[in-house]
Amino acid sequence: MKVIAILMIIAACSVVGFEISNGFARRTKNLRLWKDALRILEAEIVYSQTPIIQVFQKLSKQLPKPMKELFAQLAKEVADERGDLYEIWSEKLEDFSKISHLKTEDVEILKQFGRTLGKYDILQHEKQIQLTLTHLDRKAAEANEQNAKFGKMSRALGVLSGIFIALLLL
Amino acid sequence: MIGDTGILFQVAGIGIIVAMIHTVLKQMGKEEFAQFVSLIGFIIVLLFVLNSISDLFQQIKSVFFLKG
């Protein structure tokens, strides 16, 4: 009985540690996906000059899981004309930030980008996308560094603190 | 007379785990947290052995001054 309880405490603390380190890994991954998305967006806007709804649909087909739903919903709501593009964009980003472990500063960069979307000509758009990409590059480098540094640490700390609490209660 | 030896192993275990946490934190450049964790570990162990230490002092008193 005691052994089972001890194992459960250690397992619970380990899971918490692994979840925290997972959060760091997921932020890195999602930032990379956003960079891909912006490159595709740039190609579609600057070279193909596709309308924004079709761009969103294309993005939702090309990108993997968490981004897929985001762009599918964006395409749908813009098509339904539920309001300003920026309103829909920032609303969807808020929802997205809850499941993607992105920090508020990352979301803020993307929101700023959404504010410019559809407001200027192609040349300005290209510049805005390049600017956002630079910002995201910086954030991605920072996230990578944090992931390498704190990912391992939170995993080790989770397991160790589990054993520690179990020993205290022995 | 000697009492149970379980507390010895418990204290040893806590010591090892605190040392490991200290090492991990120090490696990641969080020296102040590492110091803090060591201090907390020490205090917890001290609370654990408080009874035994007070027993020891009572014993010493009774040996040298013949009162308990």
Q: pLDDT band at residue B2, thresholds of 50, 70 and 90?
A: low
Backbone angles phi and psi of A75, in degrees to 5: -60, -40
Question: For residue B36, is pLDDT > 90?
Answer: yes
Write out residues 5-34 of B within 8 Å (CB-CB) of A: 6, 10, 13-14, 17-18, 20-21, 24-25, 27-28
B44 touches A at CB < 8 Å: yes
CB of A71 closer than 8 Å to CB of A57: yes
Of A149, A150, A163, the CB nearest to B17: A163
Question: Which residues have C-beta within 8 Å of that of residue A113, sequence separation ≥ 6?
Answer: A38, A128, A129, A132
Question: For residue B66, is pLDDT > 70?
Answer: no
Query: Which one of B9, B16, B18, B24 makes the best mutation probe of the A interface by having the most chain A beta carbons within 10 Å?
Result: B24
Q: What is the per-residue pLDDT for A90?
A: 83
Tens-level pLDDT at each residue, chain A (170 residues): 889 999 999 999 999 999 999 989 988 988 888 888 888 888 888 888 878 888 888 888 888 887 788 888 888 887 887 778 788 888 888 888 888 788 888 888 888 888 887 777 888 888 888 888 998 899 899 999 988 888 888 998 999 999 989 888 87
Of B10, B24, B27, the CB nearest to A167: B10
B13 exposure class (CB count in 10 Å sphere: 0-12, 13-18, 19+): middle
Cβ–Cβ below 8 Å for B21 and A167: no
The mean of the pLDDT values for chain B is 86
Write out residues 137-156 of A within 8 Å (CB-CB) of B: 149-150, 153, 156
Q: What is the per-residue pLDDT for B67?
A: 60
